[in-house]
A and B are shown apart, each in its own frame.
Chain A
Amino acid sequence: QQQVKQSPQSLIVQKGGIPIINCAYENTAFDYFPWYQQFPGKGPALLIAIRPDVSEKKEGRFTISFNKSAKQFSLHIMDSQPGDSATYFCAASGGATNKLIFGTGTLLAVQP
């Protein structure tokens, strides 16, 4: 029940394309859903986050779509650039400690 399932494992798009990464969760106690971007050898960096009371949130080229009834959420990257090539992790948290439960990651390659 603590798992967050993420797909696809890897993704290749052309520059300007819109990669979509999907995540699903089981624990209805989760109330915070962030996405992190990680480059090789670096720590994860927060991209965007959403709470279950909104169905969509947009920040720059990044959009989260959230479906509370399906317990699913997804990241869309508009007008993707080669610099967006990285590993993306979804996560979920809830409760007093707010510890993050991460998905397994998606390796994104944006080809020029």
Chain B
Amino acid sequence: DTGVSQDPRHKITKRGQNVTFRCDPISEHNRLYWYRQTLGQGPEFLTYFQNEAQLEKSRLLSDRFSAERPKGSFSTLEIQRTEQGDSAMYLCASSLVLGETQYFGPGTRLLVL
């Protein structure tokens, strides 16, 4: 078990471009979460999947953001028409259905120029 992995680790893009991040949770973890962390702040919840179903989305997740978890395995987070305010660390976490411990990946740091 190698833990939660995220790809890429860093992404620099120009304003208006689309970006996609990938998260591979710990195997057999049914719950998957996306959070966003800006400098000097704690992570903020974006969205939650149980298996392949997206069960909750934060109001932070504007219509430019979309997340998927096909087949209940890895997940992708896409940001369309990026804005400078999207610059942040995007964190993925996973947990077992009946457990509470969320294990975080290393994050994808996004910089929008």
* Interfacial chain A residues near B25, Cβ < 8 Å: none
Cβ contact within 8 Å between B31 and A98: yes
| Consensus secondary structure, chain B interface | strand
Report the interface size class on chain B.
Answer: 20 to 34
Decide: A93 near B56, CB < 8 A? Known: A43-B91, A44-B91, A102-B44. Answer: no
Cβ contact within 8 Å between B55 and A100: no
**A41 vs B40: C-alpha distance when bound (angstroms):** 12
- Count chain A residues whose beta carbon lies closer than 8 angstroms to a beta carbon of B: 24
Interface residues of A in 89-105 (CB under 8 A from B): 89, 91, 93, 96-105
Decide: A99 near B101, CB < 8 A? Known: A43-B106, A43-B107. Answer: no
Interface residues of B in 61-113 (CB under 8 A from A): 91, 93, 95, 100-107, 109
Decide: A93 near B100, CB < 8 A? Known: A99-B33, A101-B45. Answer: yes
* Interfacial chain A residues near B40, Cβ < 8 Å: 104-105
